[in-house]
Amino acid sequence: MTMQRRQFFMALAAGSAGLAAQANAQALLDEKDAQASALGYVADATRTDTKKYPKYAAGQNCANCALYVGKAADKAGGCPLFAGKQVAGAGWCSAWAKKAG
């Protein structure tokens, strides 16, 4: 059975939507996770231990980090440092780097 071009693109779009939904369904990173703990990750940047992480400055958060995969307005998004998990947009870790632009 051959699939017509229109049916192919409809199936492709449905599959892509499914992958996007799966990515959005990733678990939120736990602050007690070993990698998160090693990088000083907190889900709320205002709770950052500034004595331990003097690099932190008010206004820095995951949503405005160069590593954040998502829109600035998203509650959570991906981060390549924490594969398979999402970080809180309002979070922070010691790997924070200013987003270009």
pLDDT in tens, 8-29: 666 666 665 544 455 556 899 9
For residue range 77-96, list pLDDT tens digits in order: 999 999 999 999 999 999 99
pTM for the structure as a whole: 0.74
Residue listed under structure tokens 């924490």? 82
Q: How many domains is the chain built from?
A: 1
Asked whether residue 17 is assigned to any structural domain, the reply reads: no
Asked whether residue 35 is assigned to any structural domain, the reply reads: yes
| Closest to 87 in 3D by CA, of 72, 68, 73, 64 | 68
CATH number of 54's domain: 4.10.490.10
Asked whether residue 95 is assigned to any structural domain, the reply reads: no
Structural domain span for residue 82: 28-88
How far is the C-alpha of 12 from the C-alpha of 36, rounded, in Å?
36
